[in-house]
Amino acid sequence: EVHLVESGGGLVQPGGSLRLSCAASGFTFNNYWMSWVRQAPGKGLEWVANINKDGSEKFHVDSVKGRFTISRDNTKNSLYLQMNSLRVEDTAVYYCARTYHFDYWGQGALVTVSS
């Protein structure tokens, strides 16, 4: 059974940094693209970033380019999102999702950016 478990969320001040992790199990991790999707409180879904199977291709939505970086470690079956220069508007639940088209999702990690 596919399992995706996010961790690393929390409260951070504007301008701060946070690193989210996603531990994957139940499938061959290095055979799949992986993605991050976020959802601001009470709002809809927004794609944030995705990464190809070996980590050589990475794509980010414009609103996070230069601040967030997606990465993966296939030896640890893990996906990451390094978030720097955080803004209040980055407050959201961040979901890890399998594949380019999000066939499985984790339970999400809440990131709150506030002073």
Q: Measured between alpha carbons, how far is 36 from 48 in angstroms, rounded to an integer?
A: 5
Residues 72 to 111 in contact with another protein, rule: CB under 8 A:
95, 100-108
The one among 61, 71, 110, 112 contacting another protein by CB under 8 A: 61
22-46 in b/e burial notation, b at 16+ Cβ within 10 A? bbbeeeebeebbbbbbbeeeeeeee
For the window 35-54, what string marks contact with another protein as x by the rule CB under 8 A?
--x------xxxx--x----
Q: Which is nearer to another protein, 73 or 89 (CB)?
A: 89
Q: Is 33 in the site for another protein (CB under 8 A)?
A: no
